[in-house]
Amino acid sequence: MLLKLLFFGLVTYASAAVKLQEVFSWNVLDWNYPDEYLKQESILTGAFIPENALPVGIERWKNKLFVTVPRWRPGIPATLNYIPLDAPHEQSPKLNAYPSYKGNELGNCETGLTTVYRIKADKCDRLWVLDVGTYGYDPNVTNLCPYALNVYDLNTDTRIRRYVFRPEDILPSTFIANIALDEGATCDDTFAYFSDELGYGLIAYSWQENRSWRFSHSYFMPDPLVGDFNIAGLNFQWGAEGIFGITASPVGSDGFRTLYFSPLSSHTEFSVSTRILRDERKVKEGSFNDFKVVGVRGPNGHTTSKVMDDSGVELFNLIDQNSIGCWSSSLPHKPQNIGVVDKDDVGLVFPSDVKIDEDKNVWVISDRMPVFLEAELDYSDINFRIYTAPLYNLIQGTVCEPSSQFIQTSSPMPMSNTRTVGQTPLYGLSLKAPSTPVQTSYFSSFPLNAQKIKSYNPASFSVTPKLAFLDMPRQTSYSDITSNKAGVSFFNKTPWWSKINY
Ligand SMILES: *[C@@H]1O[C@H](CO)[C@@H](O)[C@H](O)[C@H]1NC(C)=O
Ligand SMILES: *[C@@H]1O[C@H](CO)[C@@H](O)[C@H](O)[C@H]1NC(C)=O
């Protein structure tokens, strides 16, 4: 990946998350150890290097919030972890290895886990975890273990299955970071799908048959025209990155779900019926025309993580926009039907994963990943955040809200990069009345947000945080910010955000 440096010039406004509530945040991650002596020893021997840990995936199941940390650098105690949600609230809780430290042993292919990205819990209280087996990061990657699916029984915290992908499923270029589940009528009738970003494939796994197969399709490939990224003041190219975010729809009238997918270097959404994916014969039979183009999100529409709930509303991260987007699958997929449920130019820099739990709460983790990978994180600043909000609160006032849909089915409005206060859809103008935050959620969230605003820019916000909070959101889109470039180097010790002149 080629890194070019640029600088945010004068920026008049920033936005802060309004609906998403920050529940946890960290400058640097930390772990609970059985005792302090072991921890100190791990730090001394380099078995634990806190600054090397970047959280990338989350999942909530009952009283556990799972957090994954890839072993891109040395010193990561465990790649699969959880935070107990029934413990007294701490703003920066230490992570706990799941199911144990031993079960996270680096390079122990049989009973350990080496590197895990995104994970998924199912209705049968199982946690689906793909161990990609790699240690290090491009170009210093070693494949310590084969790609292996590990499934845990969450009620007993035991691993109930390990399945090693067939050699035919994996190419030399394979990189798999995402998983989607396709749950049938029984626990046995469950399929998992895995997107191969750099090998341009989609792997299907049948729980019942304990077997996998691999689809190829040109829709898994990147769009070469949109491989340039501007995130957190960094300009870089992820032009080879193919199929990435995947999620399954509710069960359709034909009894099958639809798998939605997007390449990372792309602004387009595609789909395929799980009727095709569940059938290994379709690999050879020729299923090219069963893969569909769903529509485009619009400019600055790169995404790496998506999830659809039972009502057919899809949420996804918009990594160029520091925001979470939504689309209601009952509407045509086009820019004016894409909404933004929340945006934060500091807190949501690289919202790496988005999940919806059984209680219809949305969970988001942000981690400033491009800064970690392409530059260096500032550990005197908050780098990682976990947010939550009820799904309905998030989509309220957006084009994805169920009751607003009839308004949106006709008269597409012209595209515009300019938004005024309160307008929700990102890429086009909305026919819907401007949304205002609900009073109750405003007051309950205010202390949290006011504190957050103060913490990153005291000069601008300490006097009238309330006003700032009301006026700031959604006044400027990220494309407005990035279009204003000047030539100052990123690499000095001043934190990256302080260069943004509010
Ligand atoms: C790769 O590893 C070598 C040797 O340990 C090191 O010098 C180099 O900086 C590493 N490169 C990256 C990109 O991490
Ligand atoms: C599933 O397949 C794997 C091969 O990767 C094998 O080791 C395992 O025993 C199988 N499990 C079941 C339940 O058949």
In a domain, residue 5? The reply is no
Q: How far is the CA of 210 from the centre of ligand 2 (A)?
A: 6
Note the pLDDT of residue 14: 54
Q: CB of 363 within 8 A of CB of 388?
A: yes
6 lines ligand 2 (CB under 6 A): no
300: left (phi over 0), alpha (psi -120 to 50) or beta: left
Note the pLDDT of residue 460: 26
Residue 491 identity: F
Residue 406 identity: F
In a domain, residue 261? The reply is yes
Q: Whose CA is nearest to atom 14 of ligand 2?
A: 210
Domain that holds residue 103: 17-395
Note the pLDDT of residue 428: 26
Lay out the sheet containing 21-26: strands in order across.
21-26, 384-390, 361-366, 351-356
Q: How far is the CA of 48 from the centre of ligand 2 (A)?
A: 33
- Distances in whole angstroms, Cα of residue 97 to Cα of each of 55, 62, 124, 136, 228: 13, 17, 22, 20, 36
Q: How far is the CA of 9 from the centre of ligand 1 (A)?
A: 33
Q: How far is the CA of 179 from the centre of ligand 2 (A)?
A: 19
Q: How far is the CA of 162 from the centre of ligand 2 (A)?
A: 6
With the most atoms of ligand 2 within 8 angstroms of its CB, the residue from 111, 131, 162 to mutate is: 162
With the most atoms of ligand 2 within 8 angstroms of its CB, the residue from 109, 160, 163 to mutate is: 163
In a domain, residue 147? The reply is yes
Note the pLDDT of residue 402: 87
**Rounded to 5 degrees, what angle do the CA atoms 370, 177, 265 make?**
60
In a domain, residue 483? The reply is no
Q: What are the start-end ranges of the H helices in 242-294?
A: 274-277, 281-285
Note the pLDDT of residue 407: 46
With the most atoms of ligand 2 within 8 angstroms of its CB, the residue from 131, 149, 207, 210 to mutate is: 210
Q: How far is the CA of 149 from the centre of ligand 2 (A)?
A: 10
Q: How far is the CA of 127 from the centre of ligand 1 (A)?
A: 34
Question: Residue 351 forms beta bridges with which residues?
Answer: 366
Q: Measured from the CA of 210, which atom of ligand 2 is nearest?
A: 1
Three-class SS state of 165:
coil
First to last CA, the chain: 31
Our CA dihedral for 31, 32, 38, 42, rounded to 10 degrees, sits at 0
Note the pLDDT of residue 408: 43
Residue numbers of the chain with a pLDDT score lower than 50: 1-13, 405-502
- How many structural domains comprise the chain? 1
In a domain, residue 174? The reply is yes
Q: What is the CATH number of the domain that holds 174?
A: 2.120.10.30
163 lines ligand 2 (CB under 6 A): yes
Note the pLDDT of residue 18: 87
Q: CB of 145 within 8 A of CB of 130?
A: no
Note the pLDDT of residue 139: 85
| Ligand of minimum distance to the alpha carbon of 146 | 2
In a domain, residue 489? The reply is no
In a domain, residue 168? The reply is yes
Note the pLDDT of residue 15: 67
In a domain, residue 3? The reply is no
**Residue in this structure with the two tokens 């020729």, named with its chain if needed:** 286
159 lines ligand 2 (CB under 6 A): no
Q: Measured from the CA of 164, which atom of ligand 2 is nearest?
A: 5
